[in-house]
Structure 1
Amino acid sequence: MKKITTIAGIVLATASVVALSGCGSSGGDTAANGAEKVVMWGSWSGEQVDQLEAQAAAFNESQDDYEVSYVAQELVEEKLLTALAGGEVPDVVLWDRYQTSLYAPKGALATIDDFVAEDSVDLDAFYEPALGEMEVDGELYGLPLLVDNRSIFYNQTQLDEAGVKAPTTWDELKTAAVALTENDGGSLSRAGFDLSDPGLFNQYLAQAGGSLLNEDETETAFNSAEGLEVLEFWQELMDEGVFEQGFGEGANPFAEGTMAMKYDGPWALSTLEQVDGLEYGVTPPVAGPDGQTGAYMGGFGLVIPEGAKNAEGAWEFMKWWTTQPENGVGFGEISGWIPANIEAANDPFFTDDPHYAAFIETLEYADVRPSVEGFSDVEGKALVPALEQFLAGEITAEQALDQAQEQGDQILADARG
């Protein structure tokens, strides 16, 4: 895999980034060079700030009308609501797309349909599920920027030693996981496969042919034969001893060589590339019992808050970054993130890389979580807690699904009012 360039400490030779603090925005003001200021908020911090500032500098160098600067904000969605109440909002926000259906109805975001129509932006250029997360009630509230999914990371050296190949099906995953598991004096010393994240249930459910919600999205649908099949598969893996809850907690067992396989996202690549002697591969999510594929994508978009002082400048920056493939690839080269622009994501930088290639392949069929109001709470407050109890051996598979269904359906009902 090509090395992801780190830009921590890079000196931006042009268009210095304006230091801003607090919740105020100077959008609509003029910089020293005469360009109109565009203030971008986001939750990214640390080295990611350097990445965003470098991208902003590239935009600033590309034209003379606008100067973008980035301001990191904790709990950016909540900060935006506070800023709206005070009348001082940023011009553009790096936005978790999944939050759009929650915050657009609150009046926090401005529609961009007029901008799109005026500039004849080709919306087919984006992965459709990602674009769909930016739409609410037929109106578009932003453009998708970055995408991700979970694919299987495997330790190539350990697979070779065990005489198994990277799995492509549930059955192959089980066989490989058992072969790769090691115990030392009755204690698990190397996990064959990671089962620590019950949030991946949705991916397994899709592979089994099941659905999270019913057709009209008014009730949960995961308490089904397919949902039970997922938990029975998890139970088979646990009975084989391929993983123990709490194993490797607080560490990176895959990087340390004490976990042979796991589902993870492209954000893990930059860390693993720094591990000396680690030979690993990435393969798309395995197919279910009847050959079904299943994966989910997440990621970020760019939105313009309602009341932004420089919506025009925000739109120009948004359009430059998302609709011009070379700019999406450029950010991928400095950050490791995959663009939501299909042409950019299929650039050789990604497709010729054996690690990224699996993620790009998976994006062809990856879906997004339901955007119906209340579903995030169904996952976070009903489904995942019940699955955690199941994985801990506290309740049966049937009890977990029954409990999650009862609580989840009530959450959806309450959300509908």
Structure 2
Amino acid sequence: MKKRLVAIMMVMSMTALTLAGCGGGDSASTDDTAAAEEGSEESSADADGKITISFWHYMSTDKEGKFVQEAVDEFNESQDEIYVEAQYLPREELMKQYTIGVVSGELPDVGMVDNPDHNSYAAMGVFEDITDLYEESGDTNFLEGSISSCYYDDKLYGLPWGNNCLGLFYNKQMLDEAGVEVPTTWSELEAACEALTKDGTYGLAISAINNEEGTFQFMPWLLSAGGSVDDLSSAESKEAMSYIKGLVDSGYVSSECVNWTQADAEKQFASGKAAMMINGPWQFSGLAEDAPDLEYAVAQVPKADNGDYASCLGGENIGICTGANVEASWEFISWIMSKDKSAEICKSIGRLSPRSDVDTESLYADEPNWKVFAEIMPNAQSRGPSPSWPELSAAIYNAQQQVITGAKDVDAAMDEAATTIAGLENK
């Protein structure tokens, strides 16, 4: 009980933070908030005598919302006994309603959650344990990084919905004119940045802002160096932070990165003020609007000279909520996350399928940049998973801010962050 109360208090304090890797957020309108406050109706029969279950999601754009609703309609038309009512709530409002609903008992049957936050809400009691349903289904074809974000205390509390990850965007013309090959290692990236940083253009744009986006962008460097969130005081973890600090101190990355969101990094790249950037596929639409004639391509985030390629997992999961009609809800989520439907929905809404049996090579054969991200995805690692992730993340992005701004050196900042995290894990 104490653990659950701690989880509720922690999530309530962190819900206002920016969420990374999901294509951005939005704010609640009066109508949206009023609808959310009505809560979830108990499973009941609709006009056609079907069992009704509710599905809360935050796919708000016309494109995303349209395809989600089309999938729900298709499911409803295929059913004789179950009817799904899909309801959009702005992301921050939805997270707030989970916190309220776990106390009031007013939760939907099925709900969406940002994947690094899944553990926090599972610990709070928002989601049902579906381990047995999942294992008995025989359909366990999910990528390790994706499905791991759904586990809490060795129990499964949902399924991955759609994912994305980070890669290196580069301006093809700038690299060609400078005679620079696409960098694959940290040494190569540093050399490329040196050649490309000139005339008001930085070699690389990143987001090192003091919220989840900053942590999200730091993770590939940390993982590639062999570092770990569990030991930020290790030599490998410090090496990753030292490398970022070196890029800034050398003038290859703007010191303003501590104030930049990932969308800000995209603006720098689109305007020609950065020759490369670390970002995700959700920026494709922004680049098409901001720089429709820009010739760019995508590659893996460069790896540590003695390390492996690494990327960080973004996206959403869905779970069956506590008190739901579990049987009907499982029918829905197992259908919508089936192989064919997952491939169709994810491509439509600008995500990558979390399933290991989706043929991404064929799916993105005519879209080379998407294909690169599809190739990166199998090795992308989730953030955490941990019910304390919001606070762990804060320790990481605070350390990064302190190092880049010069408030603390790498040793002091990373040792302090490691101590903070050790205290959280021992709660």
Query: Quick check: TM above 0.5?
Result: yes
> Counterparts in 2 of 1:348-359, with a 5 A limit?
348-359=362-373
Alpha-carbon distance between aligned partners in 2 of 1:270 and 1:60, rounded to the nearest angstrom: 31
Residue 112 of structure 1 is matched in structure 2 by: 130
| SS of 1:206 mapped into structure 2 | helix
Summarize the Cα distance change of 1:333–1:196 in structure 2 as closer, same or farther, 3 Å threshold: closer
Change (3 A) 1:408 1:141: closer
Counterpart pick for 1:331 among 326, 345, 352: 345
Q: Which residue number in structure 1 is paired with residue 211 of structure 2?
A: none
Give the AA of the match of 1:389.
Q
**Inter-partner Cα distance in structure 2 for 1:352 and 1:177:** 30
CA distance in 1, matches of 2:94, 2:361: 31
2:424 — aligned with what?
A: 411
Partner of 1:363: 377
CA contact (8 A) 1:194 1:259 kept: yes
CA distance in structure 2 between the partners assigned to 1:272 and 1:343 by the alignment: 30
Deviation of 1:34 after TM superposition, in Å, equals 4.0
User: What's the % identity of the aligned pairs?
Assistant: 29
Aligned to 1:98: 116
Q: Is the 8 A contact 2:343 2:358 kept in 1?
A: yes
Distance 1:29 1:172 in 2: 61
Cα distance 1:84–1:234, how it changes in 2: closer, same or farther (>3 A)? closer
> SS of 1:153's equivalent?
strand
Decide whether aligned partners of structure 1 residues 157 and 366 sit closer, same or farther in structure 2, where only a CA change above 3 A counts.
Answer: same
Hey, what's the Cα distance between the residues in 2 that align with 1:212 and 1:109?
Answer: 25
CA distance in 2, matches of 1:361, 1:315: 30
| Deviates further, 242-251 or 101-110 | 242-251
Task: Name the CA distance, whole Å, in 2 between partners of 1:49 and 1:246.
Answer: 34
Q: 1:226 to 1:261 in 2, by over 3 A?
A: same
How far 1:297 moved relative to its partner? Answer: 1.4
From the two aligned structures, give the one with the greater helix fraction: 2
**What is the Cα deviation at residue 38 of structure 1?**
2.4
Distance change in 2, residues 1:366/1:374 (3 Å): same
How far has the Cα of 1:280 moved from its partner?
Answer: 1.0
Provide the alpha-carbon RMSD of the alignment. 2.4
Q: Distance in 1 between matches of 2:311 and 2:61?
A: 29
CA separation of 1:196 and 1:128: change in aligned 2, threshold 3 A: closer
Deviations 1:372-394 (A, max 9, x none): 443431221x2211210211122
Larger mean Cα displacement after TM superposition, 240-249 or 173-182: 240-249
Alignment of 1:75-90 (within 5 A): 75-90=93-108
Residues 318-374 of structure 1, C-alpha deviations (whole Å, 9 max, x = no match): 111112x22112113321111111222625223552111222222222222232443
Amino acid at match of 1:391: I
Residues 1:69 and 2:85 are matched in the alignment:
yes
Are 1:36 and 2:69 an aligned pair? no
Q: 1:89 to 1:379 in 2, by over 3 A?
A: closer
Contact kept? 1:383, 1:408, Cα under 8 Å: no
Structure of larger gyration radius:
1
SS at match of 1:302: strand
For the residues of structure 2 that align with 1:31 and 1:181, how far apart are their CA atoms? 63
The alignment covers a number of residue pairs equal to 379
Distance 1:88 1:229, change over 3 A: closer
Which is further off, 203-212 or 42-51?
42-51
Task: Give the CA deviation at 1:193.
Answer: 0.3
SS in 2 for 1:261: strand
- Label 1:239 to 1:23 Cα distance change in 2 as closer, same or farther (>3 A): same
1:151 aligns with 2:167: yes
Q: Matches of 1:268 and 1:301 in 2, distance apart?
A: 21
Q: Does 1:300 align with 2:313?
A: no
- Tell me which moved more, 369-378 or 284-293: 369-378
Instruction: Give the alignment partner of residue 253 of structure 2, picking from 231, 235, 243.
Output: 243
* Distance in structure 1 (CA, Å) of the matches to 2:330 and 2:304: 42
Which AA in structure 2 matches 1:303? Answer: G
- The CA distance in 2 between the partners of 1:103 and 1:21, in whole Å, is 18
Listed as ranges, the gaps of 5+ residues in structure 2 are 1-33, 209-213
The aligned residue for residue 340 of structure 1 is 354
Among residues 234, 256, 262, which one is paired with 2:277 in the alignment?
Answer: 262
Q: In terms of mean alpha carbon deviation, does 170-179 or 336-345 score higher? A: 336-345
TM-score calculated relative to the size of structure 1: 0.83
Shift of 1:117: 4.8
Distance 1:117 1:255, change over 3 A: same
- Following the alignment from structure 2 to structure 1, what is the Cα–Cα distance between the partners of residues 359 and 162? 9
| Contact 1:285–1:362 (8 Å) recurs in 2 | no
Over 3 Å counting, the alpha-carbon distance change for 1:342 and 1:31 in structure 2 is same
Partner residue, 2:3: none
Deviations 1:384-417 (A, max 9, x none): 112102111222222221222233333333xx2x
Matched, 1:312 2:327: yes
Conserved? CA contact 1:295–1:362, under 8 Å = yes
Aligned to 2:219: 202
Distance in 1, matches of 2:176 and 2:38, equals 54
Q: What residue identity is the alignment partner of 1:196?
A: S
User: What CA distance in whole angstroms lies between the structure 1 residues aligned with 2:336 and 2:100?
Assistant: 27
Distance 2:102 2:389 in 1: 25
1:136 aligned to 2:146?
Answer: no
d(CA) in 2 for partners of 1:35, 1:341: 30
Please tell me whether the aligned partners of residues 23 and 83 of structure 1 are also in contact (alpha carbons under 8 angstroms): no
